[in-house]
Every structure is written in C-alpha cells, then in structure tokens.
Chain A
Amino acid sequence: MNGGATPIAETVQRGRTTLTGRALHGLAVGIVAGASGAEPREISLRWDDANGGLHATVTLPLVLRDATGGTLEEQGAALRMSLVAGMAERAGRHVDGVDLRFSGVRRGNTRRVR
C-alpha cells in the first residue's frame, strides 16, 4: 500500500520526493471532486493522524447526477473507496479511514448563467 514510499533496495538515490500537508489536501480534494462530481470549493476535507495512519474527514454536497446513482450508502462507500485507492495510487499513502458527511443536495449539470 505504501508503493510510493518503499525504497528500492540498495540503489543509491539522490534527492527525495516529499508531499506537504497542503499537497495531500489538494490531491484528496481533487480525487473526491472527480469521484463525486462536486466542485472542489464545495468540499471541505481534513487529514488527521490515527495511530500512524491517515484519517480523512470529508464534508461535501450530495450531487444527484442521474437516477442510477445507487443508494446514499452505496455512493458513500464508492466515494470512500475511490479516495483510499486514489491516495494509495497517487501519493503512496495508506488511508485508514474516511468519515464522509453529505451537507446538502445539489442537482448535477446545473450551471448558473450570467
């Protein structure tokens, strides 16, 4: 799960790639936005440490895109899975838990015309 952080045995590497807290936050917001259809500015996300693991608390509006979106439980589970998988794949971070909170409902594909 920590693919990005596993050192390649006995190879001498110069330099190091580090991720700041802001980068982790931005990356996670992007993953959640992509998976949920919500705008990044509508998503509030906080990373915490949970006994050495990462724990995310996400608040976002529920976006109703079409009728085949599944139940709220299923949508939440899919969102959590996509965040866990995305963080493992992109940042090499093992996410232990995701708390999800839908703070409202928004219809998808609505756009304000000026």
Chain B
Amino acid sequence: MNGRDRVADRRLLRRELRAARTGPAVVVAAALLVAALAAVAGSFWIADASGASAIRNGATIVRTAWGESSWRAAAAVAAGIVGIALIVLAFTPGRRRRHGRAADRVGLVVDDGLLADAAARAVAERCMLPAAQVSATVTARRVQVRIRPTSGVLVDPAGASDAAQRALERLGFEVRPVVTVATTGVVG
C-alpha cells in the first residue's frame, strides 16, 4: 500500500467515524450569503439615497418590521437558537457511535453497540451469568461493564475485566474496560 492509498484510507475512516457537517455548513453559507447581499444592498442605498426603488422598498419593509418589537424578538430568538446550535456543533467532537482502526490492508469500522455486546457476552461467559445480568456501554475511550451478580455467587471483577479486554482485543481494539458490580444481586 502506498502513501496515497494510506491517506485515502485514513480520510475514509475519518468520514465513517465522524458525523457529516453538511447541514450546519449550508446554514452558515446561507447566513453569510444573506449578510453579503444585505451589505451590497445597503452600500447601494447609502451611496445613492434616491437610487433603485426596489432596494428602497425593501429597506422600508425591513425598517417597518424592525420597528415592531415582536419581530425584533422573533429575529433575536431565531438568531440565538442558530448561534447556540452552531457553537455546540463547533465544540462537540461530532463522532458517530463507532470505533475504527486502519490495519495493513483493510480499514475496520465497528459499531460501539457491537463492541459492547462482545464485551458483555465475554463477561457473562466468564462469570457464568445470564446475559441479562451483564450490560456494557462503549464510548469514545471507555468501556463500562456493569454486572448484576447472582445472589450468593461471588463475582471476580478482575477476571471479568480480563475477559472483556480479551474479547475486544480479538476484534482489534485495545481498551481497558471498567467493571462495576452492583451491590444487590438477583435471586436465582
């Protein structure tokens, strides 16, 4: 595999792991376009106050609308909502609920839910528990395994953690899971 392929693979992997930002980009572009058009129209109007009647009519409509406080409030609320949404999108990592890795010949993208299932199943097998008593959550950097023990049967958290780690390593992801054992068990 040459360097260009590797870069392309990495880009593909990144695209699979991150959420697309097409929507916000379109909103920003539209807002910028409107602002630019308004600036052009405004400059025409300032340059020649008795100029194009269409621009003057538009300016009059805008001014009368702006005069009403309800319109101003509505515009402020809309701008605020869009602004907050854009700020949130800018600061959040925007990752999809997937894990990926680039191997020598193939790139691998796995849903977090699948990794969680694999970890939970391995722990249930290792601790000899019904699958319903083990649940796992996979986030960007953490794998959390929660065990509800069977009453009267001791659970080995270190062994459970090892089992989950081995299951994830088999899939090619090296994460150290965090295992928590609930204080109350299930009778049966």
Q: Which of B2-35 contact A (CB under 8 A)?
A: none
- Name, among B128, B149, B159, the residue most crowded by chain A CB atoms within 10 Å (CB to CB): B128
| Chain A residues closer than 8 Å to B186, beta-carbon distance | 49
- B187 and A21 form a contact (CB under 8 A): yes
A1 contacts chain B at the CB level, 8 A cutoff: yes
- Number of B residues near A (Cβ < 8 Å) is 20
Q: Which of B164-188 contact A (CB under 8 A)?
A: 181-188
- Number of A residues near B (Cβ < 8 Å) is 24
| Chain A residues closer than 8 Å to B130, beta-carbon distance | 18
Interface stretch, picked from A31-39, A57-65, A88-96, A106-114, is: A88-96
| Chain B residues closer than 8 Å to A5, beta-carbon distance | 127-128, 150, 153-154
- Starting from the known contacts A47-B151, A50-B151, A52-B182, 5 additional A-B residue pairs (CB-CB under 8 Å) come to A7-B126, A19-B188, A52-B181, A93-B152, A94-B153
Interface residues, chain B, with chain A CB atoms under 8 Å away:
126-128, 130, 149-155, 159, 181-188
Interface residues, chain A, with chain B CB atoms under 8 Å away:
1-2, 5, 7, 16, 18-21, 24, 47-54, 87, 92-96
14 pairs across A/B with beta carbons < 8 Å? Answer: A1-B154, A2-B152, A2-B153, A5-B153, A7-B126, A7-B128, A24-B187, A24-B188, A47-B151, A50-B151, A51-B184, A52-B151, A53-B151, A53-B185
